[in-house]
Amino acid sequence: MKQRDLVKKLQSAGFKFERHGGNHDIYRRGKDEEQVPRHKEVNENLAKAILRKWGL
């Protein structure tokens, strides 16, 4: 999955960009935090796990 597609789905669920980590971007929604790898392509299994974690 493309990283920008994953980010769009997270943002539509209320996550907002917080900061850049070492190799990840950090998105936050209240107390919920998600780290998204800063690659053009995110591993399909990882992307599905992130979406499943937040019920998307």
Residue 19, SS3 per DSSP: strand
What was the pLDDT predicted at 29? 94
> Does the pLDDT at position 56 exceed 90?
no
| Structural domain containing residue 18 | 3-53
Q: What is the pLDDT of residues 3-49, one digit of tens each?
A: 999 999 999 999 999 999 899 999 999 999 999 999 999 999 999 99
Provide the strand spans (E) within the chain: 16-20, 24-29, 32-37
> Does the pLDDT at position 50 exceed 90?
yes
pTM of the model: 0.88
Q: What is the CATH number of the domain that holds 42?
A: 3.30.920.30
Length of the chain (residues): 56
CA pair distance 36, 6, nearest whole angstrom: 8
Residue 31's region, left for phi above 0, alpha for psi from -120 to 50, else beta, is alpha
**Domain count of the chain?**
1
What was the pLDDT predicted at 35? 94
